A and B are shown apart, each in its own frame.
Chain A
Amino acid sequence: MGSPELVKVIATFDSPFSHRAEAALRLKGVPYELVLEDLRNKSDLLLTHNPVHKMVPVLLHGGRAVCESLVIVEYVDETFQGPPLLPADPHRRATARIWARFIDDKCTKPLWLALWTNGDAQEGFVKEIKENLALLEGQLNGKRFFGGDAVGYLDVAASPFAYWLEVLEEVSGVSLATADEYPDLCRWAKEYTSDDKVMKCLPDRAKLLAHFTAMKDRYITTARSTATNCLPA
């Protein structure tokens, strides 16, 4: 298995979801072309290939488009040779997928709202994300990576917490995951970001910091509006 057709990734430099797609390709040793998108002025390429969500990342392979970052990671794992990102055993695969879903469904929104809201609402989101990070950290269970000895699917899925979280904490002034509170998670973050394949597709920290700083006011406005519109539980 494997394919000579050119692979492209439509991405933005700052998005951890775009990173997931690139990380999967690099871990499998697949060369690709990066196409950077301006989300304020979406290209025809993006709109044609992700008409449903109009979001990055999108993987283009042999003229066909794969959308949604975790779907892309599994597609890359199944299509290309190289070290497997998901284990072979169905239950271990299900467990990795469950925790990746947990990250996307239960962590990203409260994380975002914890960073940019204020008052009682913020307290609630901070409590929620801290509890959920603790649950995620528990999955490491003394291992070097979520995947065991090597970077795997769940490590790639959890990458927002390996690199982006710390930069966002600096910009927002909100501390969510100190090394004292989350020793395993922080140790894992260093391991993940030191991997020689992963580090090649991490955005430059200074550039990321400058970008988030420039966007801070907009993040605050939209986060506070989102928080007030949240459905009653």
Chain B
Amino acid sequence: MAATEEVTLLDLWASPFGQRCRIALAEKKVEYEYIEQNLADKSELLLRSNPVHKKIPVLLHAGRSICESLLIVEYIDETWPSPSPLLPADDPYARARARFWARYVDDKLFDCQTRLWKLKSGEPAHEQAKEDLVQALTTLEAELGDRDYFGGEAFGFVDVALVPFTAWFHTYEKFGGGVAEELCPRLVAWAHRCKERNSVAMAIADPHKLYDFVLYLKQKFGAK
């Protein structure tokens, strides 16, 4: 059965997208080889495995490669349905809601945070990025509501999609995006709840180390 064949993850320590995959693999208790990538000097293996985008994360399994973090997480969930099903197997509506909100994290939250660190502080576009970030966090906060997890009582797909970004709350605050405990207290509580899971605690970045990394990215790639 293909599920027992070797699994490799090409990744970068700071990547929230890679962290999603690490969390999913850990939840499923799948053993895998982690290979840290140097994106400034891309390895042969990465270029061969993801020739179109040349980006991490890439999951290699049974000689095949899968890219795009949310699709990797779905693949992991489908290939190893237990333990810890991340998408409910028998509820298409719940699955649709989960896919919608996971995409929201990619399309809205990630976009805002990229603009927040890349653009020049004080410029109108940067002010817009701050507003958009607050909007995104507020929307996610409202969607979580009073539930323990986005899917209800069990840790699931949207939680995996979003939780790596909680390490960025410290960075958001440093870039003027607001204080998470004030903006989205339920999300902060939810993040603590998720971090009690070993899979999450082991995967997500240290917020201060991440902030230093973002400063390096800004210096290298940010608007001058």
Contact = CB atoms under 8 A, between A and B. Distances in A.
B100 A68 contact: yes
Contact of A94 (B71, B100, B118): B71
B96 A66 contact: yes
Interface of A: 52, 61, 64, 66-68, 71-72, 74-75, 78-79, 90-91, 93-95, 97-98, 101-102, 135, 229, 231-232
Interface SS of chain A: helix
A7 to B, nearest CB: 13
A90 B79 contact: yes
B93 A97 contact: no
B95 A98 contact: no
A229 B128 CA distance: 13
B214 to A, nearest CB: 16
A79 B91 CA distance: 8
Contacts of B62: 91
A21 to B, nearest CB: 12
B92 A79 contact: yes
A75 B75 contact: no
A75 B74 contact: no
Listed residue (B61, B71, B114) with the most chain A CB atoms within 10 angstroms of its CB? B71
Given A93-B78, A94-B75, A231-B118, A78 B100 contact: no
Contacts of A97: 68, 71, 74
A23 B36 CA distance: 42
Contacts of B74: 93-94, 97
Given A71-B100, A74-B99, 7 more contacts: A74-B95, A75-B93, A75-B95, A75-B96, A94-B74, A94-B75, A97-B68
A61 B92 CA distance: 11
B121 interface: no
A67 B99 CA distance: 10
A98 to B, nearest CB: 5
- List 3 tightest A-B contacts by C-beta distance, closest first: A78-B92, A90-B78, A75-B96
A61 B93 CA distance: 9
B103 A71 contact: yes
B223 interface: yes
B158 to A, nearest CB: 13
Interface string B71-92: 1101100110000000000001
B223 A232 contact: yes
B32 to A, nearest CB: 16
A95 B78 CA distance: 13
Nearest to B97: A66
B118 A74 contact: no
22 contacts: A52-B104, A52-B139, A64-B93, A66-B93, A66-B100, A68-B103, A71-B99, A71-B100, A72-B96, A75-B92, A75-B93, A75-B95, A79-B92, A79-B93, A90-B75, A93-B74, A93-B78, A94-B71, A94-B72, A231-B118, A231-B119, A232-B221
